[in-house]
Amino acid sequence: MKNLFLVLLTISLSTSFTSCKSDKKETILSEAKQNATFSIEKAASEINFTAYKFTEKKGVGGQFRHVDITSGGFGNTIKEAIHNAEFSIPVKSLFTKDSSRDYKIQKFFFGVMSDTKLLSGKLMIENDSIGAAVIKMNGISEKVPFKYTITDNTFAMNATMDINNWDALDALASLNKICEILHTGADGISKTWSDVALNISTKF
């Protein structure tokens, strides 16, 4: 009985210590976040993209109107705020100024993929002009290099992602099929390109 009591006491103390340690860490992170000079959550971010149709590669623009910062995203410099920031983007926040197009992209492109209600990822700064984003889509995480500038407290990055890298050819074919007529150019060929340009800015 005495041994059992000692075991239970040890477990209780260990749990309490771990809980206190975790709470202390969360408090420190919360204070650091509140005192940080730059915070992505408090900034104005725009996530714009350009997809392409027709053989002559005509751009079709759109954006995601909502992003959640799930980890990091703050610092005493803009680089610190961006580096290692983790994010998630609801696919339902897609906006192309055409509700019919939005529906088709969500249902016949993202809807064909695996677990893609959210796009998620992490940003990493490598030097004063380049970085990389690890983006998870269709259950696959891939690295996307980007170039960036910081001007007047605005972080702006440009990148190109090829959706083939996320094993999304079936999704692309599905979208091209439902948009076959709209994606048919003057040469009579229906074409939806696999590369997508990203233009993202955050104004602190």
What is the predicted pLDDT for the residue at 1? 55
pTM of the model: 0.82
What is the predicted pLDDT for the residue at 75? 97
What is the predicted pLDDT for the residue at 33? 75
What is the predicted pLDDT for the residue at 7? 43
108 and 116 Cβ atoms separated by less than 8 Å? no
* DSSP3 helix / strand / coil % (the chain, rounded to 5): 35, 40, 25
What is the predicted pLDDT for the residue at 35? 84
Look at domain 37-203 and name its CATH class.
mainly beta
What is the predicted pLDDT for the residue at 9? 47
The burial class, CB within 10 Å (0-12 / 13-18 / 19+), for 192 is buried
Kindly give the confidence (pLDDT) of every residue in the chain, 204 residues in length, as a single tens digit, with 9 standing for 90 and above. Answer: 555 454 444 555 555 555 555 565 456 556 667 789 999 999 999 999 999 999 999 999 999 999 999 999 999 999 999 999 999 999 999 999 999 999 999 999 999 999 889 999 999 999 999 999 999 999 999 999 999 999 999 999 999 999 999 999 999 999 999 999 999 999 999 999 999 999 999 999
The burial class, CB within 10 Å (0-12 / 13-18 / 19+), for 161 is buried
What is the predicted pLDDT for the residue at 39? 97
77: DSSP letter: S
- For residue 130, the one-letter residue type is I
Nearest one of 101, 42, 96 to 74, comparing CA atoms: 42
What is the predicted pLDDT for the residue at 83? 98
